[in-house]
Amino acid sequence: MKKKILILSGGISKERLISLDTGLQVANELKKNGYKVKISEPDNNLAKNINLFKPNIVFNALHGQFGEDGYIQTILEGFKIPYTHSGAIPSSIAMDKEISKKIFISNKILTPKHIIYSFNKKTSGLIKVIDKKLKFPVVVKPINEGSSVNVFICTKKNISKVLASIKIYKQIMIEEFIAGREIQVAIMGKKKLGAIELKPKRKFYDYKAKYNAKAKTQHIIPVELSKSKLNEIMSIALKAHDVIGCKGVTRSDFKFHKNKFYLLEINTQPGMTKLSLVPEIAAYNKISFIKLIEWILKDASTKR
């Protein structure tokens, strides 16, 4: 008898629509293959839905804050029901770009230089700090958002305007801009699943490039790298997966510049939409969408 799967999707983050899409596509695939499925928002009805439906596993299709930052994982652990992807602490670490960077650096994983900027400081002194420590252009990003939400490439001319537009955050990260190729790597448990290169028509692989088909981002697989360089980038991704303590499937985002790989961040809950990269990498490696989902569900049932 097929298991009962409760899919958590939606939520209140800026990635709500992506989460709904992921949840719906996973649900449709499971239903086609005989699973009993229920989709639930992570709201006040969650406990009721869990108690009435009595799922064997929760498939966490949430993205962004409260969905992949350890918050919902902590709640699910209280129900003592297996759930997909990483646990509460690794999820929290991976979502926090400052903490995860410190872990990358301490484990000798190359990552762009950065500073943390608090909005209670004046921007006039910031320009001097950037000139000294990073150099322009720089990448400005929230510390705990996903899907490139509110990520900007800034010059001296526009940085003040950009910062004024994202004052909703108490702190943001300002990172050195690394030119070069955009390559993303999927890890499946202890397996180096594969890599894909992205050539966005836009300035970089931002939110629109990721989720708008009209953006026409070019996906290149297999990636044009030597065997040794391909193994190098996948080994770095696996190392990041392990040192953060991740579980299930992760996707790590890299820049390849002057023969060096720079790890930008690791994603503990990659999307499962038609434009998502992990299913595409899996398909290239002859793992169908349902087989990928079933592996994630099986992995959820193992001990954390």
Q: Enumerate the active-site residues.
A: 15, 147, 211, 251, 253, 265, 267, 271
CA distance 93 to 266: 10
Which residues lie below 8 Å from residue 32, measured CB to CB, with a gap of 6+? 290
**Which H helix or E strand runs over 250?**
strand 249-257
Q: Which amino acid would we find at residue 207?
A: Y
Which residues lie below 8 Å from residue 187, measured CB to CB, with a gap of 6+? 193, 234, 237, 238, 241, 246, 249, 250, 251, 252
Distance from the Cα of residue 192 to its chain's centroid? 17
CA distance 167 to 294: 41
Query: What b/e readout covers 80-91, taking b as 16+ CB neighbours within 10 angstroms?
Result: eebbbbbbbebb
* Residue whose pair of structure tokens reads 């690394």 in the numeric block: 178
Tokens coding 84? 């997909």
